[in-house]
Structure 1
Amino acid sequence: MFSLSQVVERLSKIGEQIRFLTTSAIFYRTAVPKLSPRDVDHILRTYEHSQDFYEGSVKSYDSNQLPSNYPMEDSRSEASSLFTSGHLFGVFDGHAGPACAQVIAKRLMRYIGVSLVPPDLLKRQLEGGAESYSFLKCHNDKVDFVAEIQGIYEKSFSKYARHLCSHPTNSNIQELLENAFMRLDNDISNEALQSPSLRTMSVAMSGSVACVAHINGSNLHIASTGDCGAVLGSVTDTGQLMTTLLTNAHNSENVGECKRIVSEHPLSEKDTVIRGERLLGQLAPLRAFGDFRYKWPVDILQNFAVPQYGEHVIAQNYFTPPYLTAYPEVTHHILTPRDRFLIIASDGLWDVISPMQATQLVGEHMSGKAFLKPMELPKRDVTLGEVEEMLANRKLGQKNKPQDQNAATHLIRHALGGSDYGLEHSKIAHLLSLPQDVVRLFRDDITVTVVFFDHEYMAHST
């Protein structure tokens, strides 16, 4: 037997499915603009970016985004440390608006970057008046905060930098990443409460999941909060591609995560903490930045959120907050010459392509892309057999010649138009022609970053 609330939930889901199918049928009967292959290429390549590096374990990266929401709720950022040989790559998937994801994408890298600076060096930098220094070289960053909010953020960052300086620790990278995540989330809360405005509150009340990779030499750390995903592509002894999933999605499909959240609240709430596969029946990710409507005490919500957003901002059965955390799950992997690339993406990609499919696609893209360039011999002595193998691989790559130079674009193209018979232009063109009020029913924002490792460097550094 089902309770009345369960019956209502089931009827609600059935109603959503009927509305979806009805909308789909109406849309398919409606003529839509036909996009040419050139039109499709233009749309898919609008946000793509590639960056090469010339030393260290990271050889290059490709990134791209395809919006579904307008404005797009996904964000991404990449940076290199100015005081170490490390690189940072992040993908951020926002919800309830783009504000939190946009802010996290720009600020989190700085919080991690300053954490990596040795305390003595950091102290000298701060004594020289470098509170606003980023400690990073950012790539493909074309957006700045408005002056009104920039000052608030700089004040918070300066406090964190000085805290690190006055409280030196021997923390490992995992702890540094955890502390940076939690400190930024806490700062977002304090900024909204101490400097309440439309901007600070919109960041605090919207939310974002995050997946950040820190790569320094052979050390790869992945810090994940929410349901973005990171996948490692490697080769086996026989040259076959191998897929390693480096993240766990923090959602209702993760049994351990559900048990963790339920255990943090009284037994009387075991049926309401996660209901309808969502936190308090509302939020899909079970960890996230922002979303302070699931973190603040009731009195703070009444004083700060209700006047602006209404009584509905307080969820049903909201008795023992916080119900949500930004605390990341950190994975450490030692890179070897067998590791070839890392894929980080929002769930807009993983909803339609499996980690194994993504790995295979990037592997094929690498093979095909190599054919497009002049053959280059390694910077070492090579045998005739090795040269013959390189020539054979180039011949193999000819049939896999990709449409896109950018591997992230290659993945997005296949996410939209892939089939058992290859890419279907009509399928891609259709999905890219969907009107604004319908597109979200068919696909989510997609953000992808593919990081390529220099296995020659790795082979000589181990």
Structure 2
Amino acid sequence: MVHPPVINLMPATSSDQLRALDEVKDFALTDMDRGGDERWTYRMLEEPVVSEELKRVAEPRTSAAGTVDSVSFQPCKTWHYRSQDRHKVEEWALPGGGTWTYAAVFDGHMNHDCVDFVSTRFGPYLKSLLDASLRTCPSPSALPSLVSGLLRQALLHIDQILVSDFIGLFPRELDALRRVNPTHAKNRVNDKGGENSGYRKTARAFGGSTALVTLVDPRRRHLWVANVGDCVAVLAEQDRSGNWGSRVLNSIHNGSNPGELERIRAEHPGENDCAWNNRVLGFLAPTRALGDVWLKLPAAYAELVFRHLDADWLSPELMEPHVPRIRSPPYLSSTPDVYHLDLGVGAGTSGAPSQRALILCSDGLTDMYDGYTPQEMADEWTQVIGRALGSNTGPNSGRPKTHLALSLLREAIGGSDTQLVSRCLTVEMEERWMDDTTILVQRLP
């Protein structure tokens, strides 16, 4: 008879038990405010550890000129959920003298292909348009409308590239498209032969990105804001009495904006599901975006082409319920709203602001202010910025400047409540518990 091996374990001593308890004393359980029975473990952090961990994850940066602070935050460590936000801050030396400041936030969805293309290609294209136009020495009075037109042109151009690159893979006539062999279509869209392969062009077209773009001229007299999607721009201003006020500078292009839903329904009369469940065709939350070409083309492209794309981020079942609703495309707009502000208005008068800051953010920040109106959010953010700027003045102004974007992020995820901040940073979940969040704060004269 063979006896099974026996392992003898010594009973834990009181010291062992105390040591084990000490190792888990900083851990707790949370339902992440979701309700239900499921709980996740997180670790309580104390200062200064919690602040250092936030810096590590958010990677706060300041532009070379020292005028723009930025953070991009996604605490979920799962590779699949890595951030699809992108942002750019650049200083451009252009004809006419001085330096222009370009800042932009791009919020991608579905994949990384579209947002990578848009964020990489848009800035250089806009810069080239500005360079050529400024060489003609436009009059100062013509500058606001000139630059506004260039911003609009550049955003539409990038979207047109996404559409035309994809359409060029197949016959343009729908009858000819329907005769394409399914095997050929599948091979074409899954060819990964390079950056301009069929796969790349199809993936860039199927994915989408919002865009929030700003320009400030060398004299710091003009501010332009161009928007496609649901990112938000806010101008924070302090008056001569020290009081802070805020202005939301752009319209938000998503289902929370009744005007956007009305616009879509007016463009598609009789189609009750064109803006269903506050989403485009019941699928997409932003009502304007670059890419998302299947929502801009006839249904045949979704049925005969996109469905063959083999990608880990795409399931045909995700798209199929919405395809029958495509009857009179396009349903998604790529037309930007462009705004111009004269920052010089009131200069030298008692009504001129003593301090100003421009806040740009992806919708990850607005998601953390559920139930707030856009103006209420703007007011909250402005008070945070005001306190941070106030801490950079006075008798202790020689200390390092407060990072404005990091201050906004810290307030949004818990502020001085280290338990809430710790929970956000350390909760052990495989799925992401918050949206990608990017914040830029630019100091203005």
Give the whole-Å Cα distance in 1 for the aligned partners of 2:292 and 2:232.
Answer: 20
Q: Report the equivalent of 1:234.
A: 237
Deviation at 1:302, TM superposition (A): 3.6
Query: Is residue 245–residue 355 contact of structure 1 (8 Å, CA) maintained in 2?
Result: yes
Over 3 Å counting, the alpha-carbon distance change for 1:115 and 1:349 in structure 2 is same
Q: Secondary structure at the match of 1:227?
A: coil
Task: Normalising by structure 2, report the TM-score.
Answer: 0.72
Q: Secondary structure at the match of 1:101?
A: helix
Q: Report the equivalent of 1:110.
A: 124
Range 235-244 or range 360-369, more displaced: 235-244
Q: Report the equivalent of 2:421.
A: 428
Task: Normalising by structure 1, report the TM-score.
Answer: 0.69
Q: Does 1:67 align with 2:83?
A: no
Q: 1:324 aligns with which of 332, 337, 340?
A: 332
Q: Report the equivalent of 1:410.
A: 407
Deviation at 1:444, TM superposition (A): 1.3
Q: Secondary structure at the match of 1:299?
A: helix
Deviation at 1:207, TM superposition (A): 1.0
Deviation at 1:367, TM superposition (A): 0.7
Over 3 Å counting, the alpha-carbon distance change for 1:23 and 1:298 in structure 2 is same
Give the whole-Å Cα distance in 2 for the aligned partners of 1:425 and 1:170.
Answer: 46
Q: Report the equivalent of 1:77.
A: 88
The unaligned stretches of length 5 or more in structure 2 are 1-30, 137-142, 169-195, 310-314, 345-351, 370-376
Deviation at 1:170, TM superposition (A): 11
Q: Secondary structure at the match of 1:253?
A: coil
Q: 2:104 aligns with which of 90, 100, 121?
A: 90
Q: 1:245 aligns with which of 245, 248, 259?
A: 248
Q: Once the two structures are aligned, what percentage of the paired residues are identical?
A: 26
Deviation at 1:38, TM superposition (A): 4.2
Over 3 Å counting, the alpha-carbon distance change for 1:370 and 1:21 in structure 2 is closer
Equivalent positions of 1:60-209 (< 5 A) are 60-68=67-75, 70-84=81-95, 85-119=99-133, 172-194=146-168, 196-209=197-210
Give the whole-Å Cα distance in 1 for the aligned partners of 2:341 and 2:388.
Answer: 24
Deviation at 1:410, TM superposition (A): 0.8
Range 424-433 or range 254-263, more displaced: 254-263
Query: Is residue 229–residue 247 contact of structure 1 (8 Å, CA) maintained in 2?
Result: yes
| Larger Rg computed on CA atoms | 2
Deviation at 1:94, TM superposition (A): 1.5
Query: Is residue 41–residue 427 contact of structure 2 (8 Å, CA) maintained in 1?
Result: no
Give the whole-Å Cα distance in 2 for the aligned partners of 1:72 and 1:348.
Answer: 11
Summarize deviations over 1:282-334 as a string: whole Å, max 9, x none: 11110011111101222333443122264745623110111112211111111
More helix by share: 1
CA RMSD of superposed structures (Å): 2.7
Q: 1:365 aligns with which of 388, 396, 405?
A: 388
Q: Report the equivalent of 1:51.
A: 63
The unaligned stretches of length 5 or more in structure 1 are 1-19, 54-58, 123-168, 376-400, 455-462
Give the whole-Å Cα distance in 1 for the aligned partners of 2:279 and 2:126.
Answer: 30
Aligned residues: 349
Give the whole-Å Cα distance in 1 for the aligned partners of 2:43 and 2:431.
Answer: 14
Summarize deviations over 1:106-158 as a string: whole Å, max 9, x none: 22111211110135959xxxxxxxxxxxxxxxxxxxxxxxxxxxxxxxxxxxx
Query: Is residue 229–residue 345 contact of structure 1 (8 Å, CA) maintained in 2?
Result: yes
Q: Report the equivalent of 1:132.
A: none
Deviation at 1:61, TM superposition (A): 0.9
Deviation at 1:99, TM superposition (A): 2.6
Give the whole-Å Cα distance in 2 for the aligned partners of 1:319 and 1:175.
Answer: 32
Over 3 Å counting, the alpha-carbon distance change for 1:373 and 1:296 in structure 2 is farther
